Amino acid sequence: MNTVLEVIDVHKRFEHPVLSGVSLSLRQSEVVCVIGPSGGGKSTLLKCINWLTPPDSGAIFFQGERIGFEKKPDHWKQLGERAIAHQRKHMGMVFQHFNLFRNRTALENVIEGLVVVHKVSREEALIRGRALLKRVGLEHRANAYPHELSGGQQQRVAIARAVAANPALILFDEPTSALDPELVGEVLAVIKDLTRENSAMVIVTHEIKFALDVSDRVIFMDQGVIAEQGAADQVINHPREERTRQFLSAI
Amino acid sequence: MKSMVNDDLKRSLGLPHKSIVHWSRPIVALLVLLLIVLVIMLFWRAKINYGAVPKYFVAPLMLEGVWNAIKLALLAQTLAIVVGAVLAVMRLSSNSVSRSIASVYVWFWRAVPVLVSLLIWFNLALVLQRIQIPDPFSGGLLVDLNTNDILTPFVAALIALTLNESAYMAEIIRAGIMGVDPGQLEAARALGMSSDQTLRRVTLPQATRLIIPPTSNELINMIKETSLVSVISYIEITEAANRLSAANLDIIPALFAAVVWYLILVTIATFFQRWIEDRTNNAGGGSQQKKSLMRALLDSYNWFSVVKR
C-alpha cells in the first residue's frame, strides 16, 4: 500500500519540549486515532504535519514531498510561504473550535478552498458544496452564517470544508472537545461516514469508544513521544504500557 | 429605565417591589434648565443680528464653501483610508524595512499639527519656486512645473489633511486587522491559501467590521477639521463666514450660519455611519437583519429611539 504520510523524528519545543522525537507513517486511507493526556503533544503534532507550526527538527513527507523543503542536488532548501501553502492543498484540517469563516455562509465556507485555492469554477464548486452539505446533513442550512448554527452544525460544516477538495489526508484536532455532550454524536457520525472514503485520517480525540470503533490503528501519546501504538482493540482493551493503562482507567 | 428592569426582576422572584423615587433627577434637570435659560437670556441681550443668519446660511459664497468642505473632507478621508490600509499592512509585515518606514511615517505625521502642515504646504512656493524632475536620458527636465500652479489652496489642504489622517487610519486599520481571530487565519492557511489570499479573503473583510465605527468618527472629525483650511484662504464653511462678515459687523450671525451647516453635515455623517454599520454587521457574525436607510436614520440618535419605545 502507498504511504501517504511519513513523520520522521519530529522535535518541537516552546518553553519546554512538546514533541521529543515522534515518528509515524500512514498508508493511503488509513485511519489513525491519537489519544493521550492533555499537553502530551497531540495537537502540536497535527500542526507540525501541515506546517502551521513548523517543527524544530525532523521531517514530514507528504505524498513523497518533504513539507517546507525542496530537494536540491546536495541539500534541502527551505521553501517560501507560497510554496508551503501549495503543499497544504491536499491536506484538510478540522479544528477544535471549528474556525468557520464568520463572514461567509455555510455553503460559502465549504466552497472557499475549491474556488480560491483549487481554482474550480464557482458553478462547479457550488454543486460540489451542496452535495457535501447534504452528506453532512445540512443542505437546509446552506445559507446560514456560522453564528446561526449550533456547535455541532458548525463542526459538520467545517468537516465538509476540510474534505471539499478530496484531500489525501485529513487532520482532526479534537473535533468534539468544544461541543456540548448531546452534539458530539452527530459530528462523530459524520467523521465515521467519511472513513469510507480514500482519505487517510489522523484524529486527535478523547472519545475512546469512537477511536475503538473507527481506527485502523490507535496511537497513545504522552510527554511528547508515542508511548504505545497498535491495533485499536489491542491498545485500548489490552494496553501493554503502564502509562496507557493509567490513562485509560482514569477516563 | 433601569429601575423598571429591577422591578420586573423582583416581581419574577416574588419579592416586594417599590419604585425608588430619585429626587436628584428633577433637581438636576431644573438646574440644567435654569442654566440654559440664563445662556439664552445672555445671547438675547447681546447685540446680535439674528435676522441675518438665514441670509448668510444660503449665501452663494456659503453654499460654495459647503460644497468645497464636503469635497475636501470626502476626498481626504478616502485617500487617508487607502494610504492608511497600505501603511497598516506594512506595519504588520514580516519585512523589517517596510515596518520601519510605516512606523516612522505614522510617528511623524501624527506629531505634526495639521495647522502647521497646512501652512507649510501652502507656503512651499516661497522656497521652492519650481518642481523639477530631471530626465536621466536626455539630460533635460522630465517635469518642470510652477509650484504655485500645483499647490493651490485645495491641493495644499488635501495633502495636509490626508497626511495627518492617514497616520490615524493606519493605526485604526492595524488594530482592526489584529482584532481578527487567529483561528480564522489558521483555517485559511490550512486550506492552502497563501498569505495574500488570506489577507484578501479573510483578514481584510473581517477587519472591516472593526474598522468602520472608528473610521466614521474620523470622517466626522475630518468635516470639522476642514475649518482649519480657512487659514490658507480656501473657501470652505468657516472661510465663507469670515468673508461674508468681513465688510460689516455680522461676524457672529455668519458664524452661527456656519455652525448650522456643520451640524447638518455631521448629522448626515452620523446617519450614514449607523446605516453602514448595520449593513456590515453580518460580516463578522452580528445580527443579520438589514435595516432600511430610513430606520437607520431614525436610530442614529438615541433620543429618537427613546421616543420610539
- ipTM > 0.90, yes or no: yes
Question: Any idea which residue has 458530539 for its cell?
Answer: A184
Q: Is A146 within 8 Å of chain B by CB?
A: yes
Do A102 and B187 count as a contact with CB atoms less than 8 A apart? no
Q: What is the pLDDT of residue A157?
A: 97
Q: How far apart are CA B94 and CA B100, in angstroms?
A: 11
**Which residue in A200, A199, A197, A173 sits closest to A187, CA to CA?**
A173
The answer to whether B284 faces chain A, any CB pair under 8 Å, is yes
On whether the CB atoms of residues A134 and A73 are closer than 8 A, the answer is no
One pLDDT digit (tens) per residue for chain B, 309 residues: 445 556 666 666 666 666 677 788 889 999 999 999 999 998 888 888 888 889 999 999 999 999 999 999 999 999 999 999 999 999 988 899 999 999 999 999 999 999 999 999 999 877 777 777 887 777 777 777 787 777 889 999 999 999 999 999 999 999 999 999 999 999 999 999 998 899 999 998 999 888 988 999 999 999 999 999 999 989 999 999 999 988 888 889 999 999 999 999 999 999 988 888 887 765 444 444 444 555 555 555 544 444 333
Alpha helices in chain B (DSSP H): 2-12, 24-45, 53-57, 60-91, 96-111, 114-122, 147-150, 153-178, 182-190, 195-198, 204-225, 237-244, 251-280, 293-299, 302-308
Q: Is A85 close to B193, i.e. CB distance below 8 A? A: yes
Which residue does chain A place closest to B198, by CA atoms? A116
**Dihedral sign computed on CA atoms, order A214, A218, A221, A225:** negative
**What span, in angstroms and rounded, lies between the C-alpha atoms of B279 and B295?**
12
Nearest to B43 by CA among B53, B54, B56: B53
Assign 3-class secondary structure to B204-245: HHHHHHHHHHHHHHHHHHHHHHHHHHHHHCCCCHHHHHHHHC
Q: Please tell me whether residue B295 adopts helix, strand or coil conformation.
A: helix
Nearest Cβ partner of A95 from B187, B201, B202?
Answer: B187
Q: Which residues contact A192 (CB under 8 A, 6 or more apart)?
A: A210, A213, A214
| Rounded distance between C-alpha atoms, residue A212 and residue B65, angstroms | 77
State the nearest Cα–Cα gap between A212 and chain B, in angstroms.
27
In chain B, whose CA is at the least distance from the CA of A143?
Answer: B288
Candidate from B187, B193, B282 with C-beta closest to A117: B193
3-state secondary structure of B141: strand
- Judged by CB atoms closer than 8 Å, whether chains meet at B192 and A97 is answered as no
Sign of the four-CA dihedral B276, B282, B287, B292:
positive
Closest chain B residue to A97 measured between Cα atoms?
B183
Q: Are B57 and B227 contacting, i.e. CB atoms less than 8 angstroms apart?
A: no
SS3 A12: strand
pLDDT at B286: 43
Nearest residue of chain B to residue A171 (CA atoms): B190
* Eight-class DSSP state of B199: I
Using CB atoms and an 8 Å cut-off, which of residues 173-192 of chain B contact chain A?
181, 183-184, 186-192
Contact A219, A41 (CB under 8 A): no
Query: What per-residue string of b and e applies to B47-82 under the rule 16 or more CB within 10 Å gives b?
Result: eeeeebbeebbebeebeebbebbbebbebbbebbbe
d(CA B265, CA B109): 26
The closest of B276, B187, B283 to A103, measured between CA atoms, is B283
Cβ-Cβ contacts under 8 Å, A102 against chain B: 181, 184, 206, 283-285
Q: In this structure, what C-alpha cell is assigned to residue A232? A: 485499536
Say how far apart CA A230 and CA A251 lie, in whole Å: 20
pLDDT at B6: 64
Query: Quick one: angle between helices A122-135 and A151-163, nearest 10?
Result: 130
pTM over 0.95: no
Phi, psi angles (nearest 5°) of residue B192: 100, 15
With CA atoms as reference, report the closest residue to A160 among A152, A210, A147, A148. Answer: A152
A156 Cβ contact list (under 8 Å, min separation 6): A136, A137, A138, A186, A187, A190
The bridge status of strand A17-27 relative to strand B130-134 is unpaired
Substitution target from B95, B191, B288 for chain A, most A beta carbons within 10 A: B191
Residues in chain A, pLDDT under 50: none
Segment 42-101 of chain A within 8 Å of chain B by CB: 50, 52, 81-82, 85-89, 91-93, 95, 97, 99-101
* Closest-CA distance of chain B to residue A219, Å: 23
pLDDT at A129: 97
Given A88, A92, A101, which is nearest B202 (Cβ)?
Answer: A101
Quote the pLDDT of residue B305: 40
B169/B88 Cα distance (integer angstroms): 8
Q: Is B197 left (phi over 0), alpha (psi -120 to 50) or beta?
A: alpha
CB contact under 8 A, A103 and B192: no
Mutate to test the interface with B, among A99, A148, A202 (most CBs of B within 10 A): A99
